[in-house]
A = this chain, B = another copy of it.
Amino acid sequence: MAQALTPKGTATRSRIVAGAAAELRERGVDEVRLEDVMARTGTSKGQLFHYFPGGKEELLLAVAQHEADQVLVDQQPLLGELTSWPAWQAWRDRLIARYREQGQHCPLGALLGPTGRRTPAARSVVTGLLGRWENAIADGVRHMQSTGDIAPEVDAGRAAAAILAGIQGGVLLLLHTGRTDHLAAALDLALDALRGGARP
């Protein structure tokens, strides 16, 4: 896996990943040909298969891994500091802005959607991302409970699960309608519910 890689080599490799990611974001998974990646990154087939012996599958997986990390990075540091209602609000706004900016194609489409590769590796990338995401939200809920802003009888895990579902569905609908209405409504409803639950 970690072959001897000269600086030039690593540069090319990451150029390929970045280019493939961009291509993927613009055109969607099944519209992207290896040839497109080559054209955009100025590389040859030899190079592609040199750095990704597993071919398209391996390249797609590398891109997905890269983009999955990015999803959470884009939410930081807000996602890690859900310690007050304004902080939650700021995170909410950031999420919506982030997905509005992102085009019509989910870069994780390669894995997330029905088309998603069902290989164990692909699954673990997705479940890993979702798990970390959900945990971060649950941590935020628990912190709010520790400060008394959210009622202690709330199940943090379930709340996080519900919020994550709302986000995923909101993004899915955004991808289809081009509007952020659903994402916003889902987040607002969830946050209102948590807020309201604080005062019995």
Tell me whether A97 is interfacial, beta carbon within 8 Å.
no
Known: A165-B182, A173-B168, A186-B162. A114 touches B106 (CB 8 A): yes
Main secondary structure of the interface of A (DSSP, over half): helix
Spot the interface stretch: A33-41, A48-56, A188-196: A188-196
Asked if A164 and B182 sit within 8 Å, CB to CB, the answer is yes
Q: Is the CB of B165 within 8 A of A185?
A: yes
Residues of B within 8 A of A144 (CB): none
Partner of A159 from the list B110, B166, B189 (CB cut-off 8 Å) is B189
- Count identical subunits in the complex: 2
Contact A164 B158 (CB under 8 A): no
Q: Which of A5-13, A65-73, A123-131 forms contacts with chain B?
A: A123-131
Residues in A158-200 with C-beta less than 8 Å from chain B? 158-159, 161-162, 164-173, 175-177, 181-183, 185-186, 188-190, 192-193, 196-197
A69 CB to closest chain B CB (Å) equals: 18
Known: A113-B109, A114-B28, A165-B173. A192 touches B193 (CB 8 A): yes
Task: Indicate which residue in B30, B170, B173, B185 contacts A115 across the interface (CB closer than 8 Å).
Answer: B30
User: Which 3 A/B pairs are nearest by Cβ-Cβ distance?
Assistant: A109-B114, A169-B169, A113-B113
